[in-house]
Amino acid sequence: MTASKDAVQAPLLRVENLGVLLQNEGRVVRVVDAVSFRLKQGETLGIVGESGCGKTLLCRSLLGLLPGCAAVAPDAKAFFDGKDLFRLSESSLNKVRAAGIAMIFQDPLSSLNPVMTIGRQICEPLVHHLGMTARKARSRAVELLHSVGVSGAEQRVDHYPHQMSGGMRQRVAIAIALSCGPKLLIADEPTTALDVTVQAAILDLLMRVQAGSKTGMILVTHDLRVAATRTHEVAVMYAGRIVERISAGALFTHMRVPYTRALVDAIPKMDRPPHAPLHAIEGRPPGPAGAIYGCAFAPRCDRAIEKCRARTPPMRSDRSGRHWYACWNPIQEPAP
């Protein structure tokens, strides 16, 4: 997994100043705010954060899949393949959804139709969007199932989702996502509902698929270890904002933002004896309705200074231009 050789190529996805507004009991709340990032072809961006930090809404907004009470802020931009996703008509957005961007959800049982064979579910986009004949689509479906590691694909195409295990269903969901050859794959907590051994296998599969077809991928996860080992760049989110963007290899050692450090420290370590205390972050994340003055993490942060409570820190980068962080009092020394 090396970075793309062609460093000057235009990014596959460029998101600028993305905000998501949520209507909550008559008031409008900004649940995602000032999110900007870019993603190159063949690269994986990991988005990590605790539940309620806005990572799922962020992904859904890119595909126009927000729930009825939420809307994208008017000044947000997201360029995919040269087109601004937020200014597309419904029909052209449908075209992008079909062939450009595919999404994999956390719970494969609810994303698959329970009364349709998995074969039909894979064939549907093939026939509908790529204009394949039914027979050709079926043989392609078997091929796809085979490529995502479903054994006995010829028989499995006629099975229903409830006849398969969680891991197999997620493989089917991946096969459906890949059916039209997307340029961008958004995986929202794809392994959270699965066992560890299955999780490793599914992540292996996603990495293989992505490296093989030069697809760009956004991997949303709450597990920093998954993000650090399976992506190129990691964006850490807190209370609707990206607080740090860092290359995956440096995530556990060279973080600048105290929140990232606190998350890393809170993970149970394998090299410490039993009963050793963990570094917990006291308090809990602000709710979506909470007013945010200054840095949202300041009340829980042990490095907070006066300025942190007064003004929201902007994103700035270090000298290399690859590591971005939003903190008034960043950590200077690498973690032990």
Partner 1 sequence: MTEPAPVLEIRSLEVIYEAGRRRRIQAVSDASFEMIQGETLGLVGESGCGKSSIARAVMQLPPPTSGRVMFFGEDLTRVDRLRLRQLRPRLQMIFQDSVAALNPRRKVGETIAMPLRVAGKVPKEKRNKRAREMMSAVGLDPALFGHRPFQLSGGQCQRVQFARALMTEPGLLICDEPVSSLDVSIQAQILNLLERVRIRHGLTILFISHDMAVVKNVCDRVAVMYLGKLCETAPTEALYRQPAHPYTAVLINAIPMPGAPLSRPEMRAAAADLPSSIDPPSGCRFHTRCPVARARCAEIEPSLETVGPCRQAACHYPLCNG
Partner 2 sequence: MNPPSEIPPAAGRKSFSEALGESFWLSAIWLVCVIFFAVTADLWPLAEYDHMNWESPAAPPGTEIHAEIPGGGRPVEMKKVSLLGTDTMGRDILARLIFGARTSLAIGLVTPCIGMVIGGLLGMMAGFYRGRTEAVIVAVMDVILAFPGLVFLLAITFILGPGLDHIILALGLLTIPAFTRVARANTLRCARLEFVQSARMLGQSDIGILVQEILPNVIWPMIVYALLVVSYMIVAEGALSFLGLGVPAPTPSWGAMIAEGKEVLDKAPHVSLIPAMVMFLTVLSFNIMGDCLRRAVHPKEEQL
Residue 256: phi and psi, rounded to 5, are -110, -25
Decide: is 104 part of the binding site for partner 1 (CB under 8 A): no
Nearest to 97 by CA among 210, 185, 216, 212: 185
- By a kind-dependent CB cut-off of 5 to 8 A, residue 116 interacts, out of partner 1, partner 2, none, with none
On the CB side of 223, CA atoms within 13 Å amount to: 17
**CB–CB of 46/86 below 8 Å?**
no
Among 272, 307, 311, 322, binds partner 1 (CB under 8 A): 272
Decide: is 254 part of the binding site for partner 2 (CB under 8 A): no
Burial 201-227 (b: 16+ CB within 10 A, else e): bbbebbbebbeeeebbbbbbbbbbebb
Element (H, E) at 101: strand 101-104
**CB–CB of 76/82 below 8 Å?**
no
Decide: is 282 part of the binding site for partner 1 (CB under 8 A): yes
- Kindly tell me which of 280 and 291 has the beta carbon lying closer to partner 2: 291
List, edge to edge, every strand of the sheet that includes 316-317.
101-104, 184-188, 216-221, 44-48, 233-238, 241-247, 324-325, 316-317
- By a kind-dependent CB cut-off of 5 to 8 A, residue 299 interacts, out of partner 2, partner 1, none, with none
- Kindly tell me which of 40 and 230 has the beta carbon lying closer to partner 1: 230
Nearest to 300 by CA among 240, 333, 335, 258: 258
Q: CB of 175: closest distance to partner 2 in angstroms?
A: 34
Decide: is 281 part of the binding site for partner 1 (CB under 8 A): yes
Decide: is 315 part of the binding site for partner 2 (CB under 8 A): no
Decide: is 199 part of the binding site for partner 1 (CB under 8 A): yes
Among 2, 7, 27, 82, binds partner 2 (CB under 8 A): 27
* Options 63-71, 114-122, 180-188, 272-280: segment touching partner 1 (CB under 8 A): 272-280
Count Cβ atoms within 10 A of the Cβ of residue 159 and give its class: 0-12 exposed, 13-18 middle, 19 or more buried. Answer: middle
Binding to partner 2, residues 50-79 (CB under 8 A):
73-74
Q: Could you give the CA distance from residue 54 to residue 47 in angstroms, rounded to a whole number?
A: 10
Q: CB of 66: closest distance to partner 2 in angstroms?
A: 15
State the residues that interact with partner 1 by CB under 8 A: 50-51, 149, 151, 165, 167-168, 195-203, 222-226, 228-230, 251-253, 262-263, 265-270, 272-282, 284
Question: Residue numbers of the site for partner 2 (CB under 8 A)?
Answer: 19, 21, 25, 27-30, 33, 73-74, 240, 287, 289-293, 312
